């Protein structure tokens, strides 16, 4: 099982009995090698990814751009362990995803990766604080630890005074801030965000992206963010473009 600060996996979480874990020292946070993913068969097949390869060093915020249907969401789902590739290799924080079974992937997503979605993904019946605390409950964190971490995360995103409010009582920008706080609750090594400002106006979207960049720095994590907004791309350390299923670096 994954433990914070360690890189071990239970034998039951792998397909072959023992996961292949590389020493993360000196490795990038994300390494993608010759990644391929297609949908359909024969002449009707759609080749979403055609041998994609790239590294993301630790602590970088990398933007992923590309036209609609270019494969951005497919790539994010693969890196996040939500989908399986047809070929190639993904290594996250020293762990080769191909060595993990369903339990191992579940633990990876729960403990090492934070997800931010365009639609916020907040539970409407829960308060902001309760939404942020969901990942900590899933990890069965100590109640005091959970309370302290939730308070810290809401303060970090500027919503300490809105802890008791439900999503329907918050603006779109505030809801996305709650989503960022929730994604950071478990101290993930990697943040994955799919068009996190897509439902926000330009000014609010820029503010949210600036916040995301700031918390990536303060929390010491790495981020892969899909966006098509040129203004937001300028905030990234590096930009990768998907074109015809292949990566072009800018």
The CATH code of the domain that includes 202 is 3.40.50.300
- C-alpha to C-alpha distance for 168 and 67, rounded to whole angstroms: 31
What is the chain's alpha carbon radius of gyration, rounded to the nearest angstrom? 18
Domain for residue 45, yes or no? no
Query: Tens digit of pLDDT for each residue in 115-132?
Result: 998 888 899 999 999 999
Q: What is the pTM of this model?
A: 0.84
8 A C-beta contact, residue 39 and residue 48: yes
Query: Tens digit of pLDDT for each residue in 8-18?
Result: 333 333 333 33
pLDDT at res. 250 = 59
Domain for residue 120, yes or no? yes
Query: Tens digit of pLDDT for each residue in 163-208?
Result: 999 999 999 999 999 999 999 999 999 999 998 888 888 888 888 8
- C-alpha to C-alpha distance for 31 and 50, rounded to whole angstroms: 16
Residue 69 has pLDDT above 80, yes or no: no
Q: How many domains does the chain have?
A: 1
Boundaries of domain holding 228: 59-84+102-248
**203-230 mean pLDDT:** 88
Residue spans of beta strands (DSSP E) within the chain: 30-39, 46-56, 61-65, 87-92, 95-96, 113-117, 190-194, 222-226, 238-243, 246-249
- C-alpha to C-alpha distance for 101 and 141, rounded to whole angstroms: 24
pLDDT at res. 25 = 60
pLDDT at res. 219 = 85
């Amino acid at each position: 099982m994954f433990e914070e600060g360690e890189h071990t996996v239970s034998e039951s979480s792998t397909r072959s009995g023992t996961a292949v874990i590389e020493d993360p020292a000196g490795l990038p946070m994300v390494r993608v090698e010759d990644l391929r993913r297609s949908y359909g068969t024969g002449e009707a097949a759609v080749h979403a990814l055609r041998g994609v390869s790239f590294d993301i060093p630790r602590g970088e915020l990398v933007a992923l751009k590309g036209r609609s249907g270019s494969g951005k969401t497919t790539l994010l789902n693969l890196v996040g362990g939500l989908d399986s590739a047809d070929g190639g290799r993904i290594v996250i924080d020293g762990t080769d995803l191909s060595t993990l079974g369903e339990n191992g992937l579940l633990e990876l997503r729960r403990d090492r990766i934070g997800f931010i979605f365009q639609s916020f993904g907040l539970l409407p019946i829960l308060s902001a604080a309760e939404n942020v605390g969901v990942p900590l409950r899933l990890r069965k964190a100590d109640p005091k630890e959970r309370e302290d971490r939730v308070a810290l995360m809401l303060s970090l995103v500027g919503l300490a005074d809105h802890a008791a409010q439900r999503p329907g009582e918050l603006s779109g920008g505030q809801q996305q801030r709650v989503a960022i706080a929730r994604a950071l609750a478990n101290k993930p090594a990697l943040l994955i965000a799919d068009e996190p400002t897509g439902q926000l106006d330009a000014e609010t979207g820029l503010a949210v992206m600036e916040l995301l960049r700031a918390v990536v720095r303060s929390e010491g994590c790495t981020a892969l963010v899909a966006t098509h907004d040129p203004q937001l791309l300028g905030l990234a350390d590096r930009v990768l473009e998907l074109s015809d299923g292949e990566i072009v670096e800018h």
